[in-house]
Chains A and B, each alone.
Chain A
Amino acid sequence: MTDKNGFFDLSKTGLTRRTALKGLAAGAGLAVAPGFVRYSQAQSSAPIKIGFQSHRTGIGAAYGRWYERTTAAAVKAINEAGGINGRPVEVIIEDDGTDPGRGAEVVGKFATQHKTDIVYGTLFSHVVIGSAPAAGEAKMPYFVVSEGHHVASTKLNRYVFQPGITDVKSQIQAMAPWIAANAGKKVTQIFPDFAFGYDHRDYLPPALKAQGAEVIAQIAIPPTESSFTKYFPQIPAETEVIYHVMVGPAVLTFVKELGEFYGSSRPQLFGFIDSLEATDINSPGLEFLDGSHFWEGSPRYAQPDDSAAQKAYRAAVGIDDNGAAVGDPKDVSTAAHMFGCWETLYVVKKAMEDAGYKGPEDRAKLVEATEALTEFAEGPEHPQGPKTFNGKIHQCFGIQNISKVEGGRLNVVHKTKIEDGLYEPEGDYTTQPL
């Protein structure tokens, strides 16, 4: 990965880096702002520039750190294998502060100052939705790794894609058959009272109903809540499964209080690992989760049947068998999501090669080439598993993992099929003008 200030092409100016730095240092005030630096036109050997909209600060910082590491590993692998269309890939990072307002500014900065070829890498839904208009107006292909349903809802625009990670609607739908068959038929949902929770609130009941199970209670917890005990009496006594998707720092309190409420006899627990990404599953207070099940996009812990591609991916990204950073067991990764960065970059590579992409003037061709993609085979480029891609809704579909907490680790007990997560398209981006 490059230094984000190294975006201008020194090789074309005849300047050494030292001279350029001296020149920059001599400038004053705004003159040092990157936008005032003139740089020569991209040549055929010039790098493909990917603007990485990263959550370096703000609520998404833990994800942002691991998204950056995965991106760096993928770019290294792509460059070592010859880059894209024979050109090296250069990543320019801008922090969006996990803020939609700043996110839109960052997309504008990539488009008009850094003049990147694409923008990529955003996770948090509100930042994606806040930035999408800026990407559409700048006609800038915008590849997000968000798992939100917003891309597939076709409410954004033709320039926004999510080809490297499945969306939450698909994930929820794919969980329903396993929950109904293995955990129980009477489900109580506990979810945060904001959009992330609403996806689960809205998509789970019909998915369970189709499997002969039902949601018997839905308990929405306000985002400002820090203690949860008072909500637990609302859980009906006949509940067989508690489906929980609490997120944020309060999750440790939530689990601890749930444990105190139920003691040793509890219903089955099923959750989304989003709650515990970057959190050690063996943290004090989480003992109550032993024996419960979680959705995982990609498994955090190394599994006995891991493919060679999965092993190579984990080694490249630098996570150990427990899903923590190699050399720092406390630095737990966001393994369930960050694979999406790796896979998205390989989708970009494939689409750019299909489009014969040369520069920003080919962005429309890149959009069409991405829309024309249909399948991604499991392998080094797609270590999480095989995927299909629906070009009309700009969304991929793939397998999901269900893991059980056993002996302080997460063991995969079930893998869903791609078909489990398919649903009727809600629109068609390809009818929008480019």
Chain B
Amino acid sequence: MKEASPAKAYALHLGVIVLLFALSFVLPEYHHGLLARIMVLAVFAMGYNMLFGYVGLLSLGHAMFFSAGLYGAGLAVIHLGWSVPAAFAAGLACGALLALVIGVLALRTSGVAFMIVTMMFAQVFYLIILYFAAWTGGDQGLVVPQSARVLVLGDTSLGLTNPTVRYMSALVLFSIVLLVTLAVARSKYGRVLVAIRENEERTKMLGYDTFSNKLAAVVVSGTICAASGAAYALLFGYVGSTFASVQYSILPLLWVLLGGAATTLGPLIGTLFMYYVVDITSGYTSAYLLIVGIALILLVLFFPKGILGTIRQRWLGWLP
């Protein structure tokens, strides 16, 4: 991979953010709303990519981090009446704490065992949500009241149910996380993570504490996923156990694989692609998941490193 000049990389990412901002004014209403949701879920994918793409740890349990944010923020509003910023912070804290605990335990394993352990922890988390149905709403979930989803900034009150406010909130979160992942990917720490992915033994021999580096990556990854979950609860008004099910652990993996693992913009492209393939094909057939499956197979065959990963490999080596 060629070394990108920082200016070029940052210009590209700022360009993407400006493009998303501009799209807010031209997109038809439906696609405007859908893109807001996609940006929030792309943050989930970016969090996943942090661990899977850069450290090479394949987790099948990231739904628990997303749900930790979702429930952390949602339940703080519903049961404690917290404000939007406080609830969002609660979501982040829940995700970070959970990631720390899970990281300490799960990082004792690697490879297939890591997949299984993370999946089992996520299953435990899912069943805990069902068990405490009196507070979590169990499998039916809970509605975050519309009246509580208001962001108060000084004298201004912004209703998060307003499509423009929602889009811009999603964009702000997406932009921050995108720039943070870019900064991490380009930092010394990011290079250590990639070194661990490529050859952990050699990285250890070079004097790096790979366990604490991996643990930090799990916490950053979990916190970003929790940010996505917290934003989802506050922007879209629903918390439910479906988001903690194994399906939502596999989805970010697919989004990242599609877009390109260890690329900063890949998670957005993967999420966007999957959403629109499902949205368009489900308009024509109820067998849309079959089409999604075929699309995935074709992508794996012809774009084995994902869309952006393959583009980087073949044409644009400087892509971060």
B137 cross-chain contacts in A, Cβ below 8 A: 129, 195
List residues 2-18 of chain A with CB under 8 A from any CB of chain B.
Answer: 4-5
Given the contacts A33-B279, A36-B28, A109-B30, A129 and B37 also touching, CB distance less than 8 Å = no
Q: Tally of A-B residue pairs with Cβ under 8 A? A: 108
Number of interface residues of B (CB under 8 A): 38
A30 close to chain B: CB less than 8 A: yes
Q: Is the interface of A mostly helix, strand, loop or mixed?
A: helix
A156 cross-chain contacts in B, Cβ below 8 A: 143
Interface string of A176-220 (1 = CB under 8 A from B): 000000000000000001111010000000000000000000000
Contact across chains for B138 and A195 when beta carbons are under 8 A apart:
yes
Given the contacts A33-B276, A133-B237, A194 and B139 also touching, CB distance less than 8 Å = yes
Minimal Cβ-Cβ distance residue in A for B161: A137
Choose, from B91-99, B198-206, B263-271, B280-288, the stretch at the interface. B280-288
Among A56, A113, A155, A196: residue with most chain B CB under 10 A:
A113
Bound form: Cα–Cα A194–B279 in Å: 30
Minimal Cβ-Cβ distance residue in B for A223: B130
A134 close to chain B: CB less than 8 A: yes
> In the complex, what's the smallest C-beta–C-beta distance from A78 to chain B, in angstroms?
24
Bound form: Cα–Cα A134–B242 in Å: 17
Given the contacts A57-B286, A136-B146, A130 and B34 also touching, CB distance less than 8 Å = no
A105 cross-chain contacts in B, Cβ below 8 A: 34, 37, 279
Q: Which of B138, B144, B276, B288 contacts A30 (CB 8 A)?
A: B276
Contact across chains for A126 and B146 when beta carbons are under 8 A apart:
no
Contact across chains for B236 and A133 when beta carbons are under 8 A apart:
yes
Contact across chains for B237 and A108 when beta carbons are under 8 A apart:
no
B253 close to chain A: CB less than 8 A: no
Contact across chains for B140 and A148 when beta carbons are under 8 A apart:
yes
Q: Which of A34, A99, A194 contacts B283 (CB 8 A)?
A: A34
A33 cross-chain contacts in B, Cβ below 8 A: 31, 276, 279-280, 283
> In the complex, what's the smallest C-beta–C-beta distance from B289 to chain A, in angstroms?
7
Minimal Cβ-Cβ distance residue in B for A37: B28
Contact across chains for A126 and B144 when beta carbons are under 8 A apart:
no
Minimal Cβ-Cβ distance residue in B for A54: B286
Contact across chains for B138 and A133 when beta carbons are under 8 A apart:
no
Interface string of A75-103 (1 = CB under 8 A from B): 00000000000000000001100011100
8 A-B pairs besides A134-B236, A223-B130 with CB distance below 8 A are A33-B276, A56-B286, A57-B286, A94-B283, A105-B37, A109-B30, A112-B32, A133-B161
B-to-A contact residues, CB < 8 Å: 28-34, 37, 127, 130-131, 133, 137-144, 146, 161, 236-238, 240-243, 276, 279-280, 282-284, 286, 288-289
16 residue pairs A–B, Cβ–Cβ below 8 Å = A4-B283, A5-B283, A30-B280, A35-B31, A94-B283, A95-B282, A100-B238, A105-B37, A108-B30, A112-B33, A129-B141, A133-B144, A136-B146, A195-B139, A198-B133, A224-B127
